[in-house]
């Protein structure tokens, strides 16, 4: 009922202390919302994608982008229409369709969205979830809260997995003759029952997850111990230094 | 661990006058699944509880584990005590050391993201030291042949490997009382034998719930019971097996013997020089999984079985054969013409091991009519007629909600969905799990009656012999005729 986000590898991010990586992820996310230039924003996004490709491989990086693409298109297409004021870029007669400010805002929003996605992916793809949890607990987050955070980040891919399985199932259940290429409208229409089914599967699995957690002892009064530890990470200080330095340097270079 | 001895104190399990009715989501009230059931198991007893499907086996197992009615709502009457604890006042986590439950459907019990973490999770909850957890995790991994899969996530495991993980979890916790719901299913012969040894030599109490009498059960249990009409009846082994056999319809003739099939167009599906390679993304240490199929042929009306150990690649081959995955090398031809993935999708129906991955809609009617409604050559009346006929054939209630149906009924629904698709070939991935032979054979006969070629994947040799004498086997990554 949960899907692993970890992709085995031996890049430098895999050796970095999870506590420092959590800090770096948070600082990068904050940095993306500071007053920085658009060029700076996209340079950071490119840097994140490059770091991701080096550590988890180009294929994984590409898959991540593909997974957010529909939402990204939706945001970039509809955002400019919401901003009415400013210099007109495209207009039909006297009606302004897209303004320069709207286009810039859409570009900024898209950049932030890609940036946050890759920052999170870099953490969760290069760190086993147990280590993320230990890292969160090191920051004094209670066990239950850490579990909720890690479950949430594994539950989202589970919904994506369910979606793929349902798509496969539906593909095997297609009736009639082979159709030629389906129109975009038909494809979108076909997507609806699959999406609904994926959500139903996800919702249906919640009580089973809760049931299994309790059955495995979640809720017991004993002080919970941990099978894993973060002792194997040897350069904690250096890793923290890097985590603080990089976002600060980026901010100094790209501040508006 | 010190277990209480027989007859010295409270029994291990004491159920009195237990009745249970699932909450109904419709206007009509559900009929009770269990009605006035009594069951008393002494410490160290080993009991086989047989029941055909849909008689409340899994419901009973979940009630004993404290999960029902807490998570599966319904009206419960009577009392259940485990090792003296009244379940009415006990939470599931308090039973961790008393009662270990292995579910029929392994997917619903996974909580962690890797095999070793799955085993470690309850040990952490018990507050054991890291050294002790590591010792128990290592031991369970080695015992269940999972050491190479230590860091694998459950998505990377086969059905049998998942079952082994859940059994390894119980071995690591070491509870007094094991409740095993169809736990022998999904396991290949060697792991069934290991589980048999574990039960035989174990000092705890074991309750095995099963819908088939397997050869591994011989001389394993000291008590035999039958669950029927909501009640449990103990008896002598021979008498219980006889009654069970009648209930399961084992004495009925095998519908596949002398079955007359209507082959309208004869087809031959051939796979040549297939090779597929899969890399485990959760570890760098494991070797890539490889499966090679030099040649495989199936013709309309054929009944072929495929056997192989857990994780050998049976499901991988099935996914290639039905066009869900693309092989690295090799070709598929139907009647001499090369097939692409999409054409294979329409020619080979694949009934997944887990029916829940193939049924999603709110009612049986909607599930059965989903594919038919997309066909332009059928009008609504024809669709309705086909759906009704199919539901009758497979014993399904059209207005029933699939998610609340029993696991075997969900399997029957999955088969019914494919029956309506009328594919020339079907792959049945462990169809016999949790079904009686009679029901499984009837489903195969129905799917085959229009001349479909059937490839059956099973771990049960007795069942395989009932179905076919043509067997393919996977050994050391190569699929060949046995």
> Which DSSP category does B88 fall into?
G
Arithmetic mean of pLDDT, A43-48: 95
User: In this complex, which of A178, A197, A217 lies closest to B360 when CB atoms are compared?
Assistant: A197
Is pLDDT above 80 for A101?
A: yes
Distance CA B14, CA B7 (A): 13
More confident residue, B438 or A218: A218
User: In this complex, which of B109, B120, B125 lies closest to A212 when CB atoms are compared?
Assistant: B109
Which of A217, A223, A229 to mutate to probe the B interface, most B CBs <10 Å? A217
A-to-B residue pairs, Cβ atoms closer than 8 angstroms:
165
Q: Which residues in chain B have Cβ-Cβ distances shorter than 8 Å to A8?
A: 151, 280-284
Q: Please, which pLDDT band fits residue A182 given cuts at 50, 70 and 90?
A: low
Structure-block tokens of residue A129: 């979830």
Is pLDDT above 80 for A216?
A: yes
Percent of chain A with pLDDT over 90: 43
User: In this complex, which of B129, B281, B417 lies closest to A173 when CB atoms are compared?
Assistant: B417
User: In this complex, which of B92, B322, B403 lies closest to A204 when CB atoms are compared?
Assistant: B403
Q: How far is B239 from chain A (nearest CA, A)?
A: 36
Residue A72: what are its φ and ψ, rounded to 5°? -65, -45
> Which DSSP category does B47 fall into?
E
pLDDT of residue B437: 84
Instruction: Determine contact, residues B209/B55, Cβ cutoff 8 Å.
Output: no
Distance CA B445, CA B343 (A): 25
Q: Which residues in chain A have Cβ-Cβ distances shorter than 8 Å to B124?
A: 217, 224-227
Orientation of helix B115-125 relative to helix B130-143, angle to 10°? 140
Q: Are the beta carbons of A1 and B371 separated by less than 8 Å?
A: no
Q: Which residues in chain A have Cβ-Cβ distances shorter than 8 Å to B343?
A: 178
Q: Are the beta carbons of B360 and A10 separated by less than 8 Å?
A: no
Is pLDDT above 80 for A145?
A: yes
Is pLDDT above 60 for A56?
A: yes
Q: Are the beta carbons of B280 and A201 separated by less than 8 Å?
A: no
Q: How far is B149 from chain A (nearest CA, A)?
A: 13
Q: Which residues in chain A have Cβ-Cβ distances shorter than 8 Å to B101?
A: 215
Q: Which residues in chain A have Cβ-Cβ distances shorter than 8 Å to B345?
A: 171-172, 174
Q: Are the beta carbons of A226 and B128 separated by less than 8 Å?
A: no
For residue B292, list its beta bridge partners.
B275, B478
Q: What is the C-alpha end-to-end distance of chain A, expressed in Å? A: 44
Domains and CATH numbers, chain B: 13-248 (3.40.50.300), 268-481 (3.40.50.300)
Is pLDDT above 80 for A88?
A: no
Is pLDDT above 90 for A98?
A: no
Q: How far is A195 from chain B (nearest CA, A)?
A: 11
Q: Residue B147, Cα to own-chain centre: how many angstroms? A: 24
Instruction: State the CB neighbour count (10 A cutoff) for residue B239.
Output: 13
Cβ-defined contacts of A251-256 (< 8 Å, 24+): A251/A31, A251/A34, A251/A36, A253/A40, A254/A36, A254/A37, A254/A39, A254/A40, A254/A41, A254/A43, A254/A44, A255/A34, A255/A35, A255/A36, A255/A37, A255/A40, A256/A35, A256/A36, A256/A37, A256/A40
Q: Which residues in chain B have Cβ-Cβ distances shorter than 8 Å to A128?
A: 113-114, 151
Q: How far is B235 from chain A (nearest CA, A)?
A: 32
Q: Are the beta carbons of B92 and A176 separated by less than 8 Å?
A: no
Q: Are the beta carbons of B357 and A165 separated by less than 8 Å?
A: yes
pLDDT of residue A3: 66
Q: Are the beta carbons of A226 and B280 separated by less than 8 Å?
A: no
Q: Are the beta carbons of A227 and B117 separated by less than 8 Å?
A: yes
Q: Which helix (H) or strand (E) holds B122?
A: helix B115-125
Q: Which residue of B has its CA nearest to A167?
A: B358
Angle at B263 between CA B259 and CA B264, to 5 degrees: 150
Q: Please, which pLDDT band fits residue A175 given cuts at 50, 70 and 90?
A: low
Q: Which residues in chain B have Cβ-Cβ distances shorter than 8 Å to A144?
A: none
User: In this complex, which of B125, B322, B374 lies closest to A176 when CB atoms are compared?
Assistant: B374
Q: Are the beta carbons of B108 and A10 separated by less than 8 Å?
A: no
Which of B64, B71, B138 to mutate to probe the A interface, most A CBs <10 Å? B71
Active site residue B182: yes
Length of chain A: 256
Residue with tokens 């009206």: B75
Distance CA B360, CA A213 (A): 24
Is pLDDT above 80 for A4?
A: no
Q: Are the beta carbons of A220 and B94 separated by less than 8 Å?
A: yes
Q: How far is A170 from chain B (nearest CA, A)?
A: 8
Q: Are the beta carbons of B108 and A205 separated by less than 8 Å?
A: yes
Distance CA B133, CA B301 (A): 53
Q: Which of B182, B215, B229, B389 is catalytic?
A: B182
Q: Are the beta carbons of B114 and A172 separated by less than 8 Å?
A: no
Distance CA B75, CA B217 (A): 34
Which of A161, A175, A230 to mutate to probe the B interface, most B CBs <10 Å? A175
User: In this complex, which of B93, B124, B280 lies closest to A225 when CB atoms are compared?
Assistant: B124
**What 3-state class would DSSP assign to B339?**
coil
Instruction: Determine contact, residues B349/B427, Cβ cutoff 8 Å.
Output: yes
Going along B375-424, which residue ranges are E strands? none
Q: Are the beta carbons of B360 and A209 separated by less than 8 Å?
A: no
Q: Which residues in chain B have Cβ-Cβ distances shorter than 8 Å to A204?
A: 403
Q: Which residues in chain B have Cβ-Cβ distances shorter than 8 Å to A218?
A: 93, 125
Q: Are the beta carbons of B151 and A176 separated by less than 8 Å?
A: no
pLDDT of residue A2: 60
Q: Which residues in chain A have Cβ-Cβ distances shorter than 8 Å to B174?
A: none
Distance CA B436, CA B411 (A): 12
| Per-residue pLDDT of chain B in tens (482 residues, 90 and over written 9) | 445 555 556 799 999 999 999 887 777 788 899 999 999 999 999 999 999 877 889 899 999 998 888 888 899 999 999 999 999 999 999 999 999 999 988 888 888 888 999 999 999 999 999 999 999 999 999 999 999 889 888 888 888 899 999 999 999 999 999 999 999 988 988 999 999 999 999 889 999 999 887 788 888 999 999 998 899 999 999 999 999 988 888 777 888 887 788 787 889 999 999 999 988 777 777 778 899 999 999 999 999 999 888 888 898 999 999 999 999 999 999 999 999 998 999 899 999 887 877 887 889 999 999 888 888 888 999 999 999 999 998 889 998 888 778 777 888 899 999 999 889 999 999 888 777 888 888 889 989 988 899 999 988 878 888 888 789 999 889 999 88
pLDDT of residue B311: 83
């Amino acid at each position: 009922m949960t899907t692993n986000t970890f992709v085995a590898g031996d890049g430098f991010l895999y050796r970095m202390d999870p506590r420092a990586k959590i800090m770096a992820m948070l600082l990068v996310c904050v940095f993306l919302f500071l007053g920085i230039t658009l060029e700076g924003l996209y340079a950071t996004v490119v840097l994140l994608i490059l770091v991701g490709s080096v550590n988890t491989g180009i294929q994984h990086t590409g898959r991540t982008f593909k997974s957010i693409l529909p939402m990204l298109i939706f945001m970039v297409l509809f955002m400019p229409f919401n901003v009415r004021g400013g210099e007109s870029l495209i207009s039909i007669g006297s009606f302004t369709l897209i303004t320069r400010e709207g286009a810039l805002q859409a570009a900024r929003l898209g950049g932030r969205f890609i940036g946050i996605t890759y920052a999170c992916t870099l953490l969760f793809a290069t760190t086993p979830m147990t280590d993320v949890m230990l890292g969160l607990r090191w920051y004094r987050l209670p066990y239950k809260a850490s579990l909720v955070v890690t479950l949430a980040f594994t539950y989202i891919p589970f919904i994506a997995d369910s979606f793929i399985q349902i798509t496969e199932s539906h593909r095997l259940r297609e009736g009639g003759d082979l159709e030629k290429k389906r129109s975009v409208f038909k494809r979108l229409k076909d997507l609806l029952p699959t999406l609904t089914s994926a959500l139903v599967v996800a919702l249906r699995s919640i009580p089973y997850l809760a049931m299994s957690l309790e059955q495995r002892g979640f809720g017991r009064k004993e002080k919970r111990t941990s099978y894993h530890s973060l002792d194997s990470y040897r350069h904690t200080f250096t890793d923290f230094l890097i985590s603080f330095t990089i976002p600060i340097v980026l901010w100094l270079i790209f501040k508006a | 661990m010190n277990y209480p001895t027989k007859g010295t104190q409270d029994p291990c399990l004491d159920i009195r006058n237990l009745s249970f009715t699932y909450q109904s989501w419709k206007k009509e009230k559900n009929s009770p699944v269990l009605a006035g059931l009594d069951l008393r198991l002494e410490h160290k007893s080993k009991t086989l509880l047989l029941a055909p499907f849909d008689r409340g086996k899994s419901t009973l197992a979940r009630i004993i584990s404290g999960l029902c009615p807490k998570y599966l709502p319904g009206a419960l009457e009577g009392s259940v005590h485990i090792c003296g604890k009244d379940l009415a006042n006990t939470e599931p986590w308090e039973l961790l050391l008393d009662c270990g439950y292995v579910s029929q459907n392994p997917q619903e019990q996974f909580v962690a993201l890797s095999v070793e973490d799955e085993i470690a999770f309850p040990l952490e909850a018990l507050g054991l030291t890291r050294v002790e957890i590591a010792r128990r995790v290592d031991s369970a991994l080695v015992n269940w042949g999972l050491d190479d899969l230590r860091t694998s996530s459950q998505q990377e495991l086969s059905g049998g490997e998942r079952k082994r993980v859940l059994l390894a979890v119980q071995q690591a916790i070491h509870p007094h009382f094991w409740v095993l719901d169809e736990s022998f299913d999904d396991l290949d012969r060697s792991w069934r034998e290991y589980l048999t040894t574990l039960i035989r030599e174990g000092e705890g109490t074991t309750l095995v719930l099963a819908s088939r009498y397997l050869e591994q059960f011989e001389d394993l249990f000291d008590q035999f019971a039958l669950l029927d009409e909501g009640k449990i009846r103990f008896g002598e082994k021979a008498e219980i097996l006889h009654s069970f056999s009648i209930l399961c319809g084992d004495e009925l003739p095998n519908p596949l013997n002398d079955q007359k099939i209507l082959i309208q167009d004869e087809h031959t599906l051939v796979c040549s020089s297939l090779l597929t390679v899969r890399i485990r993304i959760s570890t760098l240490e494991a070797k890539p999984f490889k499966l090679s199929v030099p040649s495989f042929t199936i013709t309309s009306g054929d009944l072929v079985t495929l056997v192989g150990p857990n994780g050998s690649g049976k499901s991988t081959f099935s996914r290639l054969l039905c066009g869900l995955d693309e092989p690295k090398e090799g070709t598929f031809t139907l009647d001499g013409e090369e097939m692409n993935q999409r054409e294979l999708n329409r020619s080979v129906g694949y009934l997944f091991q887990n029916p829940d991955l193939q049924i999603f809609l709110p009612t049986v009617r909607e599930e059965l009519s989903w594919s038919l409604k997309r066909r332009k050559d059928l009008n609504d009346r024809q669709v309705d007629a086909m759906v009704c006929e199919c539901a009758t054939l497979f014993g399904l209630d059209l207005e029933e909600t699939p998610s609340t149906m029993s696991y075997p009924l969900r399997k029957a629904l999955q088969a019914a969905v494919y029956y309506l698709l009328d594919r020339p070939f079907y792959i049945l991935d462990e169809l016999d799990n949790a079904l009686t032979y009679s029901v499984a054979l009837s489903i195969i006969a129905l799917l085959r009656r229009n001349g479909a070629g059937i490839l059956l994947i099973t771990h049960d040799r007795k069942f395989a012999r009932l179905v076919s004498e043509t067997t393919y086997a996977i050994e050391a990554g190569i699929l060949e005729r046995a």
